[in-house]
Structures are given as C-alpha cells and as structure tokens.
A and B are shown apart, each in its own frame.
Chain A
C-alpha cells in the first residue's frame, strides 16, 4: 500500500484511452465500474477535444458482481461495434475489472466480430499510464502491420504522439516541417491521427522518428526487429538536440550532409546582454524522462543555467536519467512520490523549477518560479497558439516560457538597489505578472464610501461587513460599491445585511 496525494501518471488503461482517442476509426471497450468515465473529461476538458473519447465503459455495479459481468461485457462489445462500426476494436479491463478476472480478450474472441480485436493486458497494480499507452500502441502495430516494399521516395513514420500529450499536436507539425526541408516525407504519424489502415502500411517507410520514447519505444523496437526499420534516438527538443537529430537522420538515409531548416532565435537570445541575468541561475528539473533530459541539456548548454537537481517520475527512464545526471554532477531523483519531490526541492532551494503541473503547485507553495516542461498537464498547457517544444520554433517557445516566470534583468538590479522600495521589493514578484503587488492591500475593513460626491457618510453595520467578507474577493469590491450606491440612492445611513441583499437583488443581471 502506498500513500499518495497527487500522482504523476494515471493507471495503464488511461494510457490505452490516450492511444484510442488519438487514432481514428478505433474503439475501445473497457470493462470498468461506474465512475471510470471520469477519464473522458481529461480529453474533453483539459485538451478541449470536441468528441467523446471512443470508449465504451461496461459500467458494472455491485449487484452484477459474481453473476453476470461477463455477459455484460459481451453485450457492450456487440452494441459498441453496431453503433460505432470501428475498423479495429480494443478490449481491456480497468483496475477493478482486473480483479474479477472476466478475460475481456477471450470473451471478445467468441463474438466473431468482423473486425480485428486486440486484447490489452494492462496490469493496473504494477504499471502506469505511459506503459499502458506504449503497450497498447505496440499491440496495435503488431496486429496490423505487414511486410511491404519501401516507398520510392524517402519517407519516415512519426511515432509516439498521443492524445493528452504535452504539445504533441504542434510537435508533429514542427517536425514534419524539418523533415520536409530535408526532402523526407512523412508516411504515417501514429497513434495521433492514424487509422488502422494507416498502420497496415507502416512498414513501407524507410525509418521511424521516435518522438516520445515513453509511448512509442516498444513499437519502434518491434518495427526495427521485424521490418529492419531503424529509428532515431535523439529527441529534437533544443538547438543542440535538433542538430544531432538532423545528423542522425542524415546517417540513416545515407547522406553525409542534408541541409535542414533549423534556424532558431534561441542562441542569439541567450547571447544577448539582457540574458546575463540568466547565467548561473540554479534550476531544478523534473518531468517525464524524455522532456526532463532534453531540458537539462538546454538549461546548461543553451541558456547557461546551473542544473542543481534533475529527475523523472517514470522508472522506465531511470537508467538513462541516472547516467545523464551523473554527467551533470548531480544525483538523479527517480520518484513518483510528490511529497519526496517537494522535500528535495525545498532542500536544494533552486531559483527556478522546470517541472510538471505538480511542481507548479510546489513552486507556488515555496515561492519559487516554475515553468512547465512536461506532462502531467493542465488546461493551460494546451494553448490556442502554435507552441511546439521540438524543432526550431520549439526552442523559441522554450526560451520564452522559461524566462517568463523570472524577474527580468534590469528589474533584478532595481530590486538590489532599492531594497525597501514600495514598488520593487522581495514580495512583489515580477512586474510583468498580473499577480505583481506593489503595495500590500489592506482590505480587512471596508471603508465607508470611498468615492466622493456623497452627501452623507454611510456606515457598514458589523454583521453586514462580515457578510461582505464571505463574498469571493474578486467580486467583493464591486459588491461593496454597488451596495453603497444603492444605500445612498435610497437615503440609508447604515448598511445592514438586509441592505446588502436588497442591493444584490437590485443589481442582479
């Protein structure tokens, strides 16, 4: 039993849903109790998807246990097939269904559906979300791929992007641009946007670009073994990694020099004098292995930060992470325990955290600025604007994102010069942020009428004053003003709770 407050990864079936949702014409029937449908909102709310994830949940209840959960599963499969007519059906179990051992795969086999059915083994009590995605996609590829002649022109597959991934949508566009500039076409991108028919022709590409090892490595290894398709090992996040990636691709396709569009503003921005204030800033980096390792290289070699801590939450990446951390002269933190990460950050007291949404919580509590570099993510990590992490534009986005939470160069000097200045002081925070608070507001006692032109003073009775404070702070000011205006217009000299609510009703819109 493990005590857990927040978790970095969901259960493995959420990984399966990420793959199914990313693909087209695929449907997943998940043997699961009522309530597991919460996973839908990750996609419809956090990622703002305009479709429900293609998942049917069997929704068994206590009264079904021991009697009829198996036939409930079969019924759900048949109905899901009839309604959605997918080209491929995935079947699996969530954590509770795993315990009742109905064998969804075996049950689905007996139905004789006219489409391929891929049973998923998702060990909920041992593995986690990334494994679930990696395994699901691997099983799909294993089932549908077949040997084909390589395409005439040089092509590759983009492997690994899923639904709910950190900037996957934009990374696909950016990396496609880079590859196209090298004269390489994309055969298929999968799971994101792929249909089962696309997977059938996966082997005709010359090589695979493994964008996210967390969710695509098993499939890439299988394709290398089975169809001699090599795959890239460098994830092109950052200027240096992008250049290595281009070299790697050149070697794979057998050309010595291929020019690629890799121009980024990051090197100049880092070199310009304003960035002097970035040099040597102590950063702590944490996330999934891929993003954290890429961030470490950028932080040290491309911005000039000092990396004082480095780690990842997914144990699958522990080995490469430890190796890299050692080369940075730090011990890697491999942990999915949010409290342990918090303790670690507190101990090394960095000036900047590059982490996940969890570290944003930690940073907020400890008063340390934080930029998000990896999943798990929040709705704000799916911006409307184009903001990849990979490729030249990705490097630009990263520079801006990481610098944003910090106090800017000259401002930092002002802080030192005017230590107790009313506008520039330690608690004020960067002045370009909305939360910047030059002077501590005293809002405890609502002053009587603050605006001029009033004939007489209006007194807030104590009860009314207390009641006013129960109103959320962001509308409190308006409520106070409206009430006072209302009282004045009605010739009241005192404001009671009654007056407060009369005014509220009066101004109701």
Chain B
C-alpha cells in the first residue's frame, strides 16, 4: 500500500470544480438496475409527473419488462397540507401491496419535490414497516436530483440498507455494489478459490440473503460511486479495504490482491488462482485495444466510473487522457486509481456543460465518453462518442470481461472507420 509520502499521479492534482448546467441524470435513475437486481423489492418514488416521465424515458430506452417500480405522483391537493400527504401515501402503499403480494422490501424513494415540501418519508417508512411487519420491510432514501447524481441513487439506497443491518462480530468480507449476475458469480467463485469462506454482497438479491455488519467485517466497494455507503460502513465499525477498481487485468489483480493481503492469502495461492485468468485477460485486451492505442479520450461526468475507467484506458489500453470529468470525486474511494493517472490529465468535478463543450472542441479527442443527451449532437459534429450509460449496465468488471470493456470503447472508433459516408444529419 502506498503511504502518504509516495502519492503520485493525479492524487494531489488540482481539480477543476464547476457549477452550472449539469447534463446528468438524478439518483432516481439507478432504480432502473436496482429493481432488476433486488428481485423481491419494489421502488415507490414519491414525486411528480417529471419523476415518472424520467424513469419511463430512461427505462424505455433499455427495458420492456414488467417493472417493479412506480411513482406516487403528487397532486395539487397533496401540496396543500402535510398530514394529508402522509395519509395519501399510506393509501397508495396499501393499494400497491394489495396488488403485488410478491413484494418483501419496499423502498420509499424521495424526489426533488418531496424533499422541497419536506415530506417526512422516514416516519412514513417506520409506520408502514410496523403496519406490514413481518411481510414487508419498508425503507426510505432520497434519489432526488438536488442531492444525488445518477449512480449516487444506488449509494443512497445501500446506505439506507446498511443502516438497518443487524450487528455481527463474525469475521467476514462484505462487498458493496450491484453487479450483473455473471460478474457477481465470477467474483464469488474467484474469492472462493482464494479460500475466503465468509463472503456476502450488498445489495442482497433476496431479503433472505442475510447480511450483518460489525467490527470484524472487512469491506470493499466493487463500484466507485458508493461514498456514502462507505462512510456508513465505517460508522458501523467495519474496516475498509481500498484498491484500484476491478477493471481490466491490472485493476482486477490489484483489487483481489488487496483482499488477499487483508485475509492473509499466501502469494502462491494468489498466483495459482489469478495467473491464468490474468494472462488470458491481458492477451484479450491486447487484441481488442490495438485500435485504441495512442488515441485520446475525453470523459464527461456521468456515473463516477470515469476515474477508474480512465485508469484502465490509459494504463492497459494505451489511450491518452485529455479530461476526466466526474460528477463527484470521493478521494478515499478512487484515490488508488487517481495515483495511477498521468499528471497531465485534467480532472474536473461537477459541470458547466457549455464550458465543458468548449474545452471538448479545443481538446478534439478521438473518443468522447458522454451521456445520451450529448452523444448524437456530438456525432453530428464529427466527434466519435461512447454512451456512458452503457458502462453502467454492461458486465465490465473482472478478468473475463476486461476485453469486453475495451471493446465497448473500440466499437465506436471501429464504426467511424468503417462508415464511408458522411454523418451529417
């Protein structure tokens, strides 16, 4: 582990902090993947028609399945008096639970309007939990845009879950972050091969997957956007493990090594378990990333995955970093990745989208990683873009997905080289 004196790379580089128009999603958007991951949970947003429309628009691009989320849309009458709104919420929840008997966990999710009118969802959740005990556990958190950006919605959700965990003094490893099933299983398999027996994951897929926390709990984040959950774990007495995030061969090795060292796994065992998949990943990345080598990339802020992914693209795919923008930089969490970024990288936090677009023009990158609102307008101007949101939904963690991750970035470049026609819309 590097000590304070050997900080390098971008760890102490100045960060361009910007206020202005943020072209990002609010935290409600994470419901799109959380509701698929937590199979007995339902997410009830208490908000406006805008919230419902956002979820539909974000989800409509991606899923067609019967959703386990809905919006309790506030109406004129709800805005008049608080007591009224509490009763209305109880009525709405009763309506929902009578229709969906499969629900075991109900998340009441706060939104911008519910926060502004100070609707007390904590008290509502407490009351409802009592009323529906033991069938349904009701938990509240806020996914509002005035407090959370995109993936911070998952962070706020996990933070609330952690707060409700039972205490346990058993020695264990807890991994934080929702991962696609295939990645989840690979991770558990490799940890098992390393000899770690007591491993659990948050969020739980089902409420029966019991998870507890205490001072013998070691934890590590599998996603870089879990700052508040990280802090809450520390408050519960758990011991953090930090490492570069498990993207690419190097990232995965470093992440697993940090765990192995904490749990005293021998060097021989570590090598025996990781050597083959690591070499496999390295070879596969090498093949896929030829087209990325020496090209430049510019990240708009989106999911907080930007810094670890920039580390991967630079260190393992040979790309040059122009600007790496992130909605929020949690230095403890992404510190190990920051250390590995070249000092020449511009780091930015927050956003003033018009100014950032000006910098994009100046930087003229070969690849721009940005949100859906910007991608087509930039393509029309001749920029090659990668939709950031795909990085949140695709299996990209650990050895076996390393080349897939590289190819997500290679594909747009490939495409613009293949198309022999103009792209003016």
Decide whether A and B are members of one complex: yes
* A interface list, Cβ under 8 A from B: 1-7, 9-11, 13-14, 33-42, 44-46, 48-52, 56-62, 65, 76, 79, 83, 94-96, 99-100, 124-126, 128, 357, 361, 364-365, 378-379, 467, 470-471, 497-498, 501-502, 504-505, 508-509
C-alpha gap A361/B283 in the complex (Å): 43
Q: Which 7 A-B pairs have the closest CB atoms?
A: A35-B26, A35-B145, A40-B373, A50-B380, A50-B425, A96-B112, A508-B284
Can you give 22 A-B contacts (C-beta < 8 A)?
Answer: A1-B72, A3-B72, A6-B56, A35-B29, A35-B144, A36-B50, A37-B21, A37-B24, A38-B29, A38-B58, A38-B373, A40-B372, A41-B57, A41-B58, A44-B372, A44-B375, A50-B379, A52-B373, A62-B115, A361-B64, A471-B182, A505-B283
Q: Contact check, B48 vs A11: say whether CB atoms are below 8 A apart.
A: yes
B4 at the interface (CB under 8 A from A): no
The residues of A that contact B362 with a CB separation of less than 8 Å are: none
- Category for how many chain B residues contact A: 35 or more
The residues of A that contact B28 with a CB separation of less than 8 Å are: 35
Q: Contact check, B79 vs A508: say whether CB atoms are below 8 A apart.
A: no
Nearest opposing residue in chain B for A47, CB measure? B376
B212 at the interface (CB under 8 A from A): no
Question: Contacts A49-B376, A508-B287, A508-B403 known; A60 to B67 CB distance under 8 Å?
Answer: no
Question: Contacts A10-B53, A42-B57 known; A99 to B117 CB distance under 8 Å?
Answer: yes
User: Which one of B83-91, B233-241, B250-258 contacts A?
Assistant: B83-91
Question: Contacts A34-B146, A35-B25, A42-B57 known; A501 to B372 CB distance under 8 Å?
Answer: no
Question: Contacts A50-B425, A508-B287 known; A14 to B53 CB distance under 8 Å?
Answer: yes
Give A374 Cβ to nearest chain B Cβ, in Å: 16
C-alpha gap A503/B278 in the complex (Å): 14
The residues of B that contact A505 with a CB separation of less than 8 Å are: 280-281, 283-284, 400, 403
Mark B397-418 against chain A: 1 for CB-CB distance below 8 A, else 0.
0011001000100000000000
Partner of B372, one of A35, A41, A60: A41
Q: Contact check, A10 vs B49: say whether CB atoms are below 8 A apart.
A: yes
Which residues 65-97 in B have Cβ within 8 Å of A in the complex?
66-67, 70-76, 78-79, 85, 88-89, 91-92, 95-96
Q: Contact check, B85 vs A1: say whether CB atoms are below 8 A apart.
A: yes
The residues of B that contact A99 with a CB separation of less than 8 Å are: 79, 113, 116-117
Q: Contact check, A1 vs B91: say whether CB atoms are below 8 A apart.
A: yes
C-alpha gap A7/B57 in the complex (Å): 10
Give A463 Cβ to nearest chain B Cβ, in Å: 9
Q: Contact check, B117 vs A61: say whether CB atoms are below 8 A apart.
A: no
C-alpha gap A39/B79 in the complex (Å): 24
Q: Which of A6, A52, A498, A505 has the most CB of B within 10 A?
A: A505
Q: Contact check, B70 vs A5: say whether CB atoms are below 8 A apart.
A: yes
Q: Which of A10, A58, A379 has the most CB of B within 10 A?
A: A10
A-B contacts, CB under 8 A, total: 210
Nearest opposing residue in chain B for A84, CB measure? B354
Partner of A37, one of B23, B73, B424: B23
The prevalent SS among residues of B at the interface is helix
Partner of A3, one of B54, B95, B287: B95
The residues of A that contact B287 with a CB separation of less than 8 Å are: 508-509
Q: Contact check, A35 vs B24: say whether CB atoms are below 8 A apart.
A: yes
The residues of B that contact A502 with a CB separation of less than 8 Å are: 280
Nearest opposing residue in chain A for B59, CB measure? A6
B363 at the interface (CB under 8 A from A): no
Q: Contact check, A10 vs B50: say whether CB atoms are below 8 A apart.
A: yes
Give B68 Cβ to nearest chain A Cβ, in Å: 10
The residues of B that contact A100 with a CB separation of less than 8 Å are: 116
B130 at the interface (CB under 8 A from A): no
The residues of B that contact A378 with a CB separation of less than 8 Å are: 60
Q: Contact check, A52 vs B48: say whether CB atoms are below 8 A apart.
A: no
Give B378 Cβ to nearest chain A Cβ, in Å: 9
Q: Contact check, B50 vs A94: say whether CB atoms are below 8 A apart.
A: yes
The residues of A that contact B116 with a CB separation of less than 8 Å are: 65, 96, 99-100
C-alpha gap A10/B28 in the complex (Å): 16
C-alpha gap A50/B182 in the complex (Å): 36
Q: Which of B54, B58, B95 has the most CB of A within 10 A?
A: B54
The residues of A that contact B19 with a CB separation of less than 8 Å are: 59
Nearest opposing residue in chain A for B279, CB measure? A505
The residues of B that contact A3 with a CB separation of less than 8 Å are: 70-73, 92, 95-96
Q: Contact check, B377 vs A50: say whether CB atoms are below 8 A apart.
A: yes
Which residues 110-152 in B have Cβ within 8 Å of A in the complex?
112-113, 115-117, 144-147, 149
Question: Contacts A1-B78, A34-B22 known; A44 to B181 CB distance under 8 Å?
Answer: no
Partner of B54, one of A38, A44, A76, A470: A38
Q: Contact check, B75 vs A1: say whether CB atoms are below 8 A apart.
A: yes
Q: Contact check, A45 vs B372: say whether CB atoms are below 8 A apart.
A: yes
C-alpha gap A44/B20 in the complex (Å): 21
The residues of A that contact B147 with a CB separation of less than 8 Å are: 61-62
Give B407 Cβ to nearest chain A Cβ, in Å: 7
Give B315 Cβ to nearest chain A Cβ, in Å: 19
B364 at the interface (CB under 8 A from A): no
Partner of A95, one of B29, B112, B277, B283: B112
The residues of A that contact B76 with a CB separation of less than 8 Å are: 125-126
The residues of B that contact A10 with a CB separation of less than 8 Å are: 49-50, 53, 57
Give A468 Cβ to nearest chain B Cβ, in Å: 11
B61 at the interface (CB under 8 A from A): yes
Partner of A52, one of B53, B78, B88, B377: B377
Q: Contact check, A1 vs B283: say whether CB atoms are below 8 A apart.
A: no
The residues of A that contact B72 with a CB separation of less than 8 Å are: 1-4
Nearest opposing residue in chain B for A41, CB measure? B372
Q: Contact check, A51 vs B372: say whether CB atoms are below 8 A apart.
A: no
Question: Contacts A33-B145, A44-B374, A83-B354 known; A11 to B26 CB distance under 8 Å?
Answer: no
Give B232 Cβ to nearest chain A Cβ, in Å: 19
C-alpha gap A35/B113 in the complex (Å): 13
Nearest opposing residue in chain A for B60, CB measure? A378
B38 at the interface (CB under 8 A from A): no
C-alpha gap A100/B39 in the complex (Å): 37
The residues of A that contact B54 with a CB separation of less than 8 Å are: 35-36, 38
The residues of B that contact A33 with a CB separation of less than 8 Å are: 26, 112, 144-146
The residues of B that contact A41 with a CB separation of less than 8 Å are: 57-58, 61, 371-373
Nearest opposing residue in chain B for A51, CB measure? B377
Partner of B377, one of A34, A44, A361, A365: A44
C-alpha gap A470/B186 in the complex (Å): 11
B52 at the interface (CB under 8 A from A): yes
Q: Which of B20, B374, B424 has the most CB of A within 10 A?
A: B20
B276 at the interface (CB under 8 A from A): yes
C-alpha gap A406/B9 in the complex (Å): 62
Give B173 Cβ to nearest chain A Cβ, in Å: 22
C-alpha gap A5/B22 in the complex (Å): 27
B210 at the interface (CB under 8 A from A): no
B185 at the interface (CB under 8 A from A): yes
The residues of B that contact A470 with a CB separation of less than 8 Å are: 181-182, 185
Q: Contact check, B70 vs A96: say whether CB atoms are below 8 A apart.
A: no
The residues of A that contact B284 with a CB separation of less than 8 Å are: 504-505, 508
B226 at the interface (CB under 8 A from A): no
The residues of B that contact A364 with a CB separation of less than 8 Å are: 64
C-alpha gap A40/B380 in the complex (Å): 16
Q: Contact check, B400 vs A501: say whether CB atoms are below 8 A apart.
A: yes
B310 at the interface (CB under 8 A from A): no
